[in-house]
Amino acid sequence: MNANGNPNTDSADDFEDVVSRHFDGGCSDCVTSRDAYWHELEIGNRSVIELLELEVKEYELAVTYHRNALQRLTNPIAVANAAQALEDTRVKLADAQARLARRRS
C-alpha cells in the first residue's frame, strides 16, 4: 500500500498480490482481476476519507474548546495564548477540510 492507503501497483507482481489478497479476503462481488483491483482502490479511498472526516471533527471540537476557553480567561497573557491556539486550530481545521474535499472529489 502507498501513503494514500491505496495498493501500490508498480509492477505486475504487486498487481497480482493486490488482486489475490482481495479474492482471498472473500469478495464475491468481483468477477475479474480488474474488478478486484478497482474494488481495493475504492476500499482504500473510503478508509482515508473516514480518517479525514474524523480529523475534521476533532479540529471542530478543538476550535469550540479554544473559543470557550478564550471567553472565560481574564489574564492578558492567557488570552493571547488562547487566541493564538484558536487561530492555529482554525488553520489546521481549514487544511483538514480542504484535504477531505479533495479526496471526495
Give 16-71 pLDDT, tens digit per residue: 777 777 667 666 666 666 777 777 777 766 777 787 888 899 999 999 999 998 89
The predicted pLDDT at position 20 comes to: 72
Domain ranges of the chain: 12-104
- pTM beyond 0.85: the answer is no
What is the residue whose three cell numbers read 498487481? 15
CA trace torsion 82, 99, 97, 57 (10° rounding): -80
CA distance 18 to 35: 11
Q: How far apart are CA 77 and CA 82, in angstroms?
A: 9
- Find out whether 64 and 29 touch, Cβ atoms under 8 Å: no
pLDDT digits (tens, 9 = 90+) for 69-85: 889 998 999 999 999 99
What pLDDT is recorded for position 4?
47
**pLDDT value at position 53?**
87
Residue type, 19: V
CA 46 and chain centroid, separation? 9
Using 50, 70 and 90 to split pLDDT, how confident is the model at 11? low
